[in-house]
Amino acid sequence: MNEWEWQLLEEVSPVESVTISSVDGKCDEVKKGDLVRLRPRQGGDIFDLALAGQIAIIESIEQDYEGKVHLAVVLDEDPGKDLGVLRQPGHRFFFAPEEVEPIDPQEAAARPQVQLQKILIAGIGNIFLGDDGFGVEVARRLSESEFPEGVRVQDFGIRGYDLAYALLDGYDLTILVDAAPRGSAPGTLYVIEPDLNQPDLNQPDLNQETAEPQGVALDAHAMNPVSVLQLAKSMGPIEGKVLLVGCEPATLGGDEGQMGLSEAVAAAVDQAVVLVKRLVADRLNSEKG
């Protein structure tokens, strides 16, 4: 797609709903989140035809630069459908409005209801202390992504009490994202599961591809994950699992502070975004097993 086509696409107004016809000839309006049955046209792609009769969820309604409307759907029975909601290839499919039909409300109501997983992604850090702003930047980037219902992305900055109270909200999984000085090369990413009975971020990493921990205490700024976990535990029980996605900083700003991330840590932001999305998807998929 060339630049002109991109400009046309950006100028297209978002589509909130679309009208489709049901088997009995009635017209129904469908929107994001609605269930539909796939009825691909004859002569279409062989893979699309293999999905005929499947029930799918409308993930989004999109319009191309020619004004044609397409329904992006994920299969309701796909074990990896949450990857489709995260817009990962292989779990998200496109159909024209005339290639789907609405699900009868009684059939939809009779389908088993799935208990939503509550997941919190919490960015932590001080943007005035160099690489300490890592968690804030990752949270900002993740806030631009679409997640399944029940997943919350929040930049807590240095608001320790706000995060402590959030930890008591009964999340099934909390992912803290922060700078984590542990003695490895700047930009190294860690995945750590603190012991909630005795929070300690100098535990072995869950990701064996990262460097071995060096026993450096995580106490680089006013609010760090250890302090927050201890504060939250003093106020009540923390339910669910807590993980830390940490990044080895190159600089924390020194005495005068510093705006912006170092080159090594800025380069790790994209990897961290992918890593957090993978942790979310792994949690959602594990619960279905």
Q: What is the pLDDT of residue 212?
A: 34
Coil, strand or helix: which one is 257?
Answer: coil
Backbone angles phi, psi at 192, to 5 degrees: -125, 135
pTM, rounded to two decimals = 0.58
Does the structure show a pLDDT above 50 at 214?
no
Distance CA 245, CA 122 (A): 10
What single DSSP character describes residue 142?
H
Strand (E) or helix (H) holding 63: strand 55-63
Mean pLDDT, the chain, rounded, equals 77
The SS3 call for residue 45 is coil
Interval 39-49: pLDDT, tens: 887 766 666 67
DSSP bridge partners of 24: none
Which domains are seen in the chain, by residue range?
10-110 (2.30.30), 119-288 (3.40.50.1450)
Secondary structure class of 33 (helix, strand, coil): coil
pLDDT tens figures, 5-21:
445 444 555 677 788 76
pLDDT the model gives residue 222: 53
**pLDDT of amino acid 217:** 35
